[in-house]
Amino acid sequence: MKNLGKIIFFVIILVFPLFIFSSSLLQAARKTSDSSDTIKLTFWNFWDPKFILPVIERFEKENPGVKIINEQVSWSNGLDKIVISMANNMAPDICEMGSTWMGKFMSEGALLDITDKVSDLKDEYLMWAPAQMNGRYYGMPWLAGTRVMFYNRELFAQAGLDPDKPPLTWKDFLDAARLIHNPKKGIYGFGMNAGEGHILYKKFMPFVWGNGGKILDENDNFVFDSQETRETLDFYLKLKEYSYCEKQDLLDEAFKRGKLGLAISGSWNFARYPKDAPNLDFGVSLMPKPAEDKGFSTSFLGGEILVLFKTCKNPDVAAKFIRYIVKMENTMPITKEAWVSFPAHLDAYKDSAFTKDKRLSVFTEQMKTAIHPPIHNLWIDLEKIINTAVEKAMYNEPIDSVFKEANEEFEKISGKKNESKQSSSFLIVILSALGVGIIINAILLAFILYEVKKNKSGPIGPIERAQRYILFLAPWFITFFIFWLYPLLFSVVLSFCEYDVFHPAVFSFSGFKNYMALVEDEVFIQSFFNTLIFVVGTTPVTTALGLALALMINSLKSKSDIFRSVFFLPSIISIVVTATIFKSFYSPVGLLNRFLALFGIQGYGWLVDKSFALPAIMIMDIWAYAGYYMVLYLAALTAVPKSLYDAAEIDGANEWEQFRYITLPQIKYMTVFVMTINTIRSWQVFPEVFTLTSGGPVGSTNTLVHHLYELAFRYHKMGYASAISLVLLLLVFLFSFIQMKILSGKKR
């Protein structure tokens, strides 16, 4: 044992700082050993492997010596994962990319120029715009999709409208929505997107575009604030009066149930509606235009582009593969299964699948006039500005201030490019690793010095004595310092930098800029208060509910196992699943509203209402976690000595007095513990928000962790996100400290 302790002791001291660097050597060694005769390329995409694998198999057969490794990436986290991998030099060779992301990736130089490998296909495919920058091609269009107007023919007939004459102009559209709208019966004129930050613009912009408005002009000036946009917004807000506001999947669901007269949606419904609701009589038509003699019908165009990353191991073979997979016969199976998007190959539209259903040809027709959002470096930020503006207007903020804020936001993001001192991120690694190494060594040294000082003589030497607990502490030391403190220090350094994931090897030191920016960041301030409300609102209630449940179960004389399990159930199941269940529960056509309808109370879109969304999440949270604290309290209650109650009974204390003067003080330690743990968890509320509302509507449910997650992975502001996380850490620490002091100091 002595030897073992010694070995571990020295390993910790010596190896750690070297650990990180040596392993990168190891990695390099592994990479070179990989280079056998076969060419291995990784391909990341979003589709079920059952569509992709057969294509790969055929390709591999035709190209011996090539191996394509297929990986499915999830839609909801796909971009995050790609960005993180890229930041760590782990990007795939071939990747599917949403067309609206292209601007950023192209202008950051993350992608390989494949002009000479694909430009001969130019006339056979559509949607080249997002794959192109400065006349060079950085991608290959694979799948394209657009949105059209869906209408319920039955509801049209009921409202006295001609089901064969879908509205062609804004006015007709508005009239139709108004005539159909009957919320008392649960029928709504139009399904309007709300509460989902990243989709709204796809529905709103086509109206602006059709009316001649734009986001950026030829010189990349922000021209969103225009007469055309204001007209459109005016129309849109009128339309809202006859609308059912919800998220996309719930809108599609509502349309499917025959609750919506009109909706703007995509072709994926063709795979679902006939199967799920064979009786639904619906038509599709082109998007309405502003007026007979004004504007034109247009829609949002978007899709999937195949790209090669700069780090691609074998561009020639990779390009050959993308040329292969975009072929019509290889892409059609994907389209035919889910009808999510159509092949970018122009011949596809001659396929019988398209010509057979007249309604599908509306899509091909709309595709001709559909517009792709601007290909711009800052598109992701622009998209946010537009979404925020429209959303704010929808939630009754004055139009002028909405536009003013949008213009200001644009100024902020566009004027930010500054090339300050740059250093290698290698420095961060060294600094953090060195910091950790020094701390470890200092602590170990202190241990030994302490033992030396404590007792110079004795049966065992000071080092041996120190070894005893060092051995026991070692597992925690190792994991804490490597997997916790090192990343934390890295974060601290990052928070003083502008760290660009697109150039991970370079960062620029920016001093306290990130921290200064916090004060001006309205979203940060809003999320801070939301989080505070969440913490103050849920923690006491969850604790009290947990205690109440425990008290009730404890005083139950019969068997209580079943209750215990029932209330504990929510803590067992992933909060993501719970949130998903609640999402449908809270939806306007969900269980809650159906229950309320029994009492004649009119339903409500809980999660898309500015003032109800946060409380709705809080209620779910209380529901989900009370059972866990109940178990803790139950345990504490069983430990209260029975004799105390007997004594109290003799003294004539009533039940409340017994609770007040015996139970409560006896379980105080548990209350302190529960409150502390509960508060810490509440400050970090994230998956609930992520699943239910993504921070919307208008940021009313944005929390700190959600905000920093978005900043880091959607807007790529790692430095700023790190600053927020450190502020949050400090906040939680302070809050818990004060709380513990107050709670445990109360009755001394």
Applying CB under 8 A, among 184, 557, 642, 747 the residue interacting with other proteins is 557
DSSP assignment of 100-161 equals GGHHHHHHTT-B---HHHHGGGGGGBS--GGGEETTEE--EEEEEEEEEEEEEHHHHHHTT-
Interacting positions 704-743 with other proteins (CB under 8 A):
704-705, 708-709, 712, 718, 721-722, 724-725, 728-729, 732-733, 736
Q: How far is the CB of 305 from other proteins (least distance, A)?
A: 15
**x-or-dash string of contact with other proteins, 21-60, rule CB under 8 A:** --xx-xx--x-----------x---x--x-----------
Whichever of 353 and 429 has its CB closer to other proteins, that residue is 429
HEC secondary structure over 427-456: HHHHHHHHHHHHHHHHHHHHHHHHHHHHCC
**Residue 299: phi, psi to the nearest 5?**
-145, 180
Interacting positions 72-101 with other proteins (CB under 8 A):
72, 74-77, 80-81, 84-85, 87-90
Q: How far is the CB of 322 from other proteins (least distance, A)?
A: 20
**With binding defined as CB under 8 A, does residue 15 bind other proteins?**
no
Whichever of 9 and 173 has its CB closer to other proteins, that residue is 9
Whichever of 9 and 709 has its CB closer to other proteins, that residue is 709
Q: How far is the CB of 169 from other proteins (least distance, A)?
A: 28
Q: How far is the CB of 122 from other proteins (least distance, A)?
A: 27
Contact 603, 588 (CB under 8 A): yes
**With binding defined as CB under 8 A, does residue 284 bind other proteins?**
no
> Which positions ≥6 away from 304 have C-beta within 8 Å?
46, 96, 97, 98, 99, 141, 142, 143, 144, 341
Applying CB under 8 A, among 303, 570, 588, 699 the residue interacting with other proteins is 570
Interacting positions 597-626 with other proteins (CB under 8 A):
623
Q: How far is the CB of 405 from other proteins (least distance, A)?
A: 28
The whole-angstrom separation of Cα 291 and Cα 99 is: 30
> Which positions ≥6 away from 211 have C-beta within 8 Å?
228, 229, 231, 232, 290, 294, 295
Looking at 159-167, 179-187, 294-302, 629-637, which segment touches other proteins (CB under 8 A)? 629-637
Whichever of 661 and 686 has its CB closer to other proteins, that residue is 686
Looking at 185-193, 206-214, 485-493, 692-700, which segment touches other proteins (CB under 8 A)? 485-493
Looking at 118-126, 315-323, 411-419, 478-486, which segment touches other proteins (CB under 8 A)? 478-486
Helix (H) or strand (E) holding 575: helix 575-586
Q: How far is the CB of 32 from other proteins (least distance, A)?
A: 14
Helix (H) or strand (E) holding 419: none
Applying CB under 8 A, among 686, 714, 715, 739 the residue interacting with other proteins is 686
Contact 493, 428 (CB under 8 A): yes
Q: How far is the CB of 398 from other proteins (least distance, A)?
A: 34
Taking alpha carbons only, the member of 71, 66, 65 closest to residue 46 is: 71
Pairing of strands 66-72, 39-45: parallel
Interacting positions 372-431 with other proteins (CB under 8 A):
429
C-alpha pair distances (Å), 30 with each of 23, 25, 35, 81, 507: 10, 9, 9, 23, 28
**x-or-dash string of contact with other proteins, 188-227, rule CB under 8 A:** ----------------------------------------
Tell me, by CB under 8 A, how many residues bind other proteins. Answer: 131
**With binding defined as CB under 8 A, does residue 354 bind other proteins?**
no
**With binding defined as CB under 8 A, does residue 19 bind other proteins?**
yes
Applying CB under 8 A, among 102, 575, 616, 617 the residue interacting with other proteins is 575
Q: The dihedral of CA 271, 272, 278, 284: what is its sign?
A: negative
**With binding defined as CB under 8 A, does residue 581 bind other proteins?**
yes
Whichever of 116 and 649 has its CB closer to other proteins, that residue is 649
The whole-angstrom separation of Cα 602 and Cα 249 is: 22
Q: How far is the CB of 491 from other proteins (least distance, A)?
A: 6
**With binding defined as CB under 8 A, does residue 463 bind other proteins?**
no
Q: Please return the burial class of 672, using the count of CB atoms within 10 Å of its CB with bins 0-12, 13-18 and 19+.
A: middle
**With binding defined as CB under 8 A, does residue 7 bind other proteins?**
no
Helices (H), 211-327: 227-240, 248-256, 269-276, 315-325
Applying CB under 8 A, among 142, 236, 321, 567 the residue interacting with other proteins is 567
Residue the block writes with tokens 């009957």: 182
Helix (H) or strand (E) holding 313: none
Whichever of 163 and 258 has its CB closer to other proteins, that residue is 258
Taking alpha carbons only, the member of 263, 262, 281, 285 closest to residue 273 is: 281
